A and B are shown apart, each in its own frame.
Chain A
Amino acid sequence: MFDDRSPIYRQIADQVKDDVLRGVLGAGQQVMSTNQYAAHYRINPATAAKAFQQLVDEGVIYKRRGVGMFVADGARDRLRTERRERFFTEVVGPMLAEAHALGIPVADIVAHLQRHDPPGDSR
């Protein structure tokens, strides 16, 4: 579930963000409680609490006292904007470096992408 190398709270926060980004968790929807999360994934509750606090600080979720935690309105759009900015540096950059090392021309990559994702099909 979690890799053993980076802080667990960050991995939890990233998973919740992925769920929001992919629409698995919609705006206004309740997220699992800290205790449910801790018990389900067999982790210390303080670690889970730290992850949810980070998500609150970043405006991805909000707390309603005594009720629970919910996905914030507009969280998905904000996460998309943020991830789009990182997409070219973190995803495309390393891919181009690998292609370069393998001697694959950029034109081949473009042709490949167009075969698998024709224009008009992208949302």
Chain B
Amino acid sequence: MITTSALQVRYGDTTALHPLDLDLSAGRIYGLLGRNGAGKTTLLSVLAGFRAPSAGSVTFDGAPVFENAAATTRICLIRDDGGLGDPTDKLTDILDMAAILRPTFDRAFAGELLDRFALPRRSTLGRLSRGQRSAFGVTVGLASRAALTMFDEAHLGMDAAARKVFADALLADYLARPRTFLLSTHLIEEQSPLFEQVLILHQGRLLLREDLDDLRGRGVAVTGPATLVDDFVSGLTVLAERRLGPTKEVTVFGGLDDEHRRLAGRAGLTLGPVAVQDLFIHLTGGLP
């Protein structure tokens, strides 16, 4: 549905996005992970047509996105820095305006979401807290019912209860009206179960694209006496090592075959799973 071909974005001398070929299918929920400055917001902005590519292309159902109203009315990006209106705008006025601008906008559903997030209807945008502003962004994003809906850290500042309301509303609406979502997040453990597939951006490049559930099985922590562990992991993809006295723990990426599992058993090494968040940290360069 949305396709990039050799897409590049540069800001002056800085390359924010190196040539990227990406194709997202209709009707899936994608997660976009990356460290601060990895290029997530740049990618989302260019996919939404908020800015032009420096080189290459972004097409939506075959047509270029930038300055193409037919495409951009079917794409909705909610940015973490707002952009929904002026501080003095009333929430209800912003929703009324969105309903006029977007043919697919469901004004009644937006009203329901305001209630579910317990947002004060009579308030202005400027009087909302950070978390309330995010909840309002989610309200606009979901009610847009856009074929491609993107949230840039939709949960920023939301408390735990609001984040659950967000997850429930997203899933319920997705099940009722399947469409494509791309969500960037730093709350990996909490939000990743919502994703079918994750994309990891690192330093402006797509580092990995994989089904979330497959990624969960890809990391293995090997623990035991240091020399035995070293022998065992030679030839495997090692992401990280930690030592505690004579014991060593090595994080290996790529899963283990049966032969390696047998060898580990015979050597008395302990094999343990690795959390997705830890895999992400290791894959993107480890701790500073």
Contacts A/B (CB < 8 Å), 5 sampled:
A8-B212, A8-B216, A42-B171, A43-B193, A44-B196
Flag if B213 contacts A50 (CB, 8 Å): yes
Chain A interface size, under 10 / 10 to 19 / 20 to 34 / 35 or more: 10 to 19
Interface hits, A21-77 → B, CB 8 Å: 35, 38-39, 41-47, 50
Q: Which of B167, B195, B196, B216 contacts A7 (CB 8 A)?
A: B216
> Is A115 part of the contact surface with B, judged by Cβ < 8 Å?
no
Q: Using C-beta atoms within 8 Å of the partner chain, give the interface range for chain B.
A: 20 to 34
> Cβ of B214 < 8 Å from any Cβ of A?
yes
Q: Taking beta carbons and an 8 Å cutoff, which residues of A are in contact with B?
A: 2, 4-9, 35, 38-39, 41-47, 50
Contact yes or no, B175 A7, CB < 8 A = no
Say whether B28 contacts A4, CB under 8 Å. no
B277 within 8 A of A: yes
Closest chain B CB from A37 CB (angstroms): 11
Q: Select the stretch in B61-69, B113-121, B138-146, B268-276 that faces chain A.
A: B268-276
Instruction: Tally the A-B contacts, defined by beta carbons under 8 Å.
Output: 57
- The reply to whether A42 and B168 form a contact with Cβ atoms under 8 Å apart is yes
Interface residues of B, dominant DSSP:
helix
Q: Does B172 contact A (CB under 8 A)?
A: yes
Q: Would you call A6 and B216 a contact (CB within 8 A)?
A: yes
Complex: A9 Cα to B214 Cα, angstroms: 10
Among A8, A38, A44, A50, which residue has the most Cβ atoms of chain B within 10 A? A44
B212 and A47 within 8 A (CB): yes
Residues on the A chain within 8 Å of B172, using CB: 39
- Are B214 and A2 in touch, CB under 8 angstroms? no
Is B214 in contact with A44, judged by CB distance below 8 angstroms?
Answer: no
Residue of A nearest to B178 (CB): A45
CB pair B175–A46 under 8 Å, yes or no, is no
